[in-house]
């Protein structure tokens, strides 16, 4: 078992400039697109973390030549996906939902498995969709096996993607390589994390794929080649949010470099959220600077489209001086862990006042005390504990190493931020 990490207490307001690694969401999408193109391409600025390593390993298992050198990944030319391999999804939703729609194009059987918690995550929607499109799939959750024939008929499919936007993105990424392309209809409650689908569509278009998303809840992907693109990955804006939160909770000032002026990343929403909670957020000259308020206010907000920010926002809310209500996030019960139950358990475990609702969490002001904070093998739960620990003495995160999923050196980056290091 890992040793608990004593979350550093901020003795003074935090003042620092931080540079975060590349976006995991973009990295793993463009790696799949690069492999689907069949031609050589380079990904620059790729995140170095477990999820990206699992994606690289998955593509290699399909016979794709991939070389990773730090944040640069080179995907080589190949004649098609190879069967006979085994793919470890770990706990990476992007691997377990993006790779199977591509693996059905392999010339043989491909077996998928992952971490114990991954076997509990919803997969039936995407596997059922692949069956309906002509794939031979054995199983409805991890572990499962695909029997590829080198092609897939494709066509029209209706799914309920209300549990995860990754069901839509995973199918869209490979849709152009299906014989009839793909027309995907969503029928159900609103799809969460819609910005991630917008991201997928934008990246497909950059690769020359024709996508029509003009009709609500419907996406049409024309059959055809996926172009070879030399990709440049944006910084991961969601991973930047704990550092910006540090300014908000300590009344300090943190600047994150490389912040794009326009992006499909959900993490960009942190600017509005922090402003609503009383902080100042200024985007200028390719950097975002957040200045913390004297007192942090609670917020009543629908996070359906930006659910991945919930742990950061919940940590902020636990330190605010008025109540908060985080709504539209029932789907987070199916993430790396049940994030709603986990956040309530850890906040109340430190003396906080929080409870689950049907679609979210309510958090009220309370005097927090030090104590253990469980990460649940969830990188965003771990960073939420680090935020709380900035102003609550004695918080100990049980598994800070889980942040390596998307940030290989989070503890070092956190320490350098507290030291006021430039270009962290």
* 25 annotated to bind ligand: yes
* 169 annotated to bind ligand: no
3-state DSSP percent of the chain in helix, strand and coil, to 5? 35, 20, 40
Active-site annotation holder among 234, 253, 308, 346: 308
Q: Is the peptide bond before 143 cis (omega within 30 degrees of 0)?
A: yes
* 111 annotated to bind ligand: no
* 220 annotated to bind ligand: no
SS3 127: helix
Cβ neighbourhood burial of 248 (10 Å; 0-12, 13-18, 19+): buried
Q: What are phi and psi of 156, to 5 degrees?
A: -105, 135
* 37 annotated to bind ligand: no
b/e per residue 380-398 (b: at least 16 CB within 10 A): bbbbbbbbbbbbbeebbbb
* 29 annotated to bind ligand: yes
* 185 annotated to bind ligand: no
CA–CA separation, 79 vs 397, rounded Å? 46
b/e per residue 121-137 (b: at least 16 CB within 10 A): bbbebbbbbbeebbbeb
* 180 annotated to bind ligand: no
* 193 annotated to bind ligand: yes
CA distances, 220 to each of 174, 182, 226 (Å): 12, 6, 15
* 164 annotated to bind ligand: yes
* 335 annotated to bind ligand: yes
* 331 annotated to bind ligand: no
Based on the residue annotation, tell me whether 308 is a catalytic residue of this protein.
Answer: yes
What is the gyration radius of the CA atoms in the chain, in angstroms? Answer: 21
Angle value at C-alpha 144, between 138 and 149, nearest 5 degrees: 60
Angle value at C-alpha 28, between 149 and 40, nearest 5 degrees: 70
CA–CA separation, 412 vs 409, rounded Å? 5
CB-side exposure of 360: number of CA atoms within 13 Å? 23
Instruction: For tokens 């278009």, name the residue.
Output: 205
Which residue numbers are catalytic?
Answer: 308
- Annotated binding-site residue numbers for 3-phosphoshikimate: 24-25, 29, 164-166, 193, 308, 335
- Annotated binding-site residue numbers: 24-25, 29, 93, 121, 164-166, 193, 308, 335, 339, 380, 405
- Annotated binding-site residue numbers for phosphoenolpyruvate: 24, 93, 121, 166, 339, 380, 405
């Amino acid at each position: 078992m890992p040793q608990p990490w004593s979350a550093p207490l901020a003795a003074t307001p935090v003042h620092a400039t931080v540079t975060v690694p590349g976006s995991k969401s973009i990295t793993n999408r463009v790696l799949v697109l690069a492999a689907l193109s069949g031609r050589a391409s380079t990904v620059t600025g790729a995140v170095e973390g477990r999820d990206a390593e699992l994606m690289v390993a998955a593509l290699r298992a399909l016979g794709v030549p991939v070389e990773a050198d730090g944040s640069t990944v080179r995907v080589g030319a190949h004649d098609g996906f190879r069967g006979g391999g085994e793919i470890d999804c770990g706990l990476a939703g992007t691997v377990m939902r993006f790779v199977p729609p591509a693996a059905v194009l392999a010339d043989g059987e491909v077996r998928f498995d992952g971490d114990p918690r991954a076997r509990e995550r919803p997969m039936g929607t995407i596997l059922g969709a692949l069956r309906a499109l002509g794939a031979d799939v054995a199983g409805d959750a991890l572990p499962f096996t695909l029997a590829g024939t080198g092609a897939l008929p494709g066509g029209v499919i209706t799914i309920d993607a209300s549990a995860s936007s990754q069901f839509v993105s995973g199918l869209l990424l490979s849709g152009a390589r299906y014989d009839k392309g793909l027309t995907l209809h969503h029928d159900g409650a609103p799809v969460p994390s819609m910005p991630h689908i917008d991201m997928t569509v934008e990246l497909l278009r950059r690769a020359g794929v024709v996508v029509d998303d003009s009709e609500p809840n419907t996406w049409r992907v024309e059959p055809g080649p996926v172009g070879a693109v030399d990709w440049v990955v944006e910084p991961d804006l969601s991973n930047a949010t704990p550092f910006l939160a540090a300014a908000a909770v300590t009344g300090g000032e943190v600047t994150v470099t490389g912040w794009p002026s326009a992006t499909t990343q959900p993490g960009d929403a942190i600017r509005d959220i922090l402003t609503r909670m009383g902080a100042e957020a200024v985007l200028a000259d390719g950097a975002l600077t957040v200045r913390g308020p004297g007192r942090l206010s609670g917020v009543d907000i629908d996070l359906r489209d930006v659910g991945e920010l919930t742990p950061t926002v919940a940590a902020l809310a636990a330190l605010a001086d008025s109540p908060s209500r985080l709504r539209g996030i029932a789907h987070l019960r199916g993430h790396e862990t049940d994030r709603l139950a986990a956040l309530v358990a850890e906040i109340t475990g430190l003396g906080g006042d929080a409870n689950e609702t049907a679609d979210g969490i309510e958090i009220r002001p309370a005097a927090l005390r030090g104590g253990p904070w469980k990460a649940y093998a969830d990188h965003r739960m771990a960073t939420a504990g680090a935020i709380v620990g900035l102003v609550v003495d004695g918080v100990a995160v049980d598994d800070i190493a889980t942040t390596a999923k998307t940030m290989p050196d989070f503890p070092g980056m956190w320490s350098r931020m507290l030291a006021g290091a430039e270009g962290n």
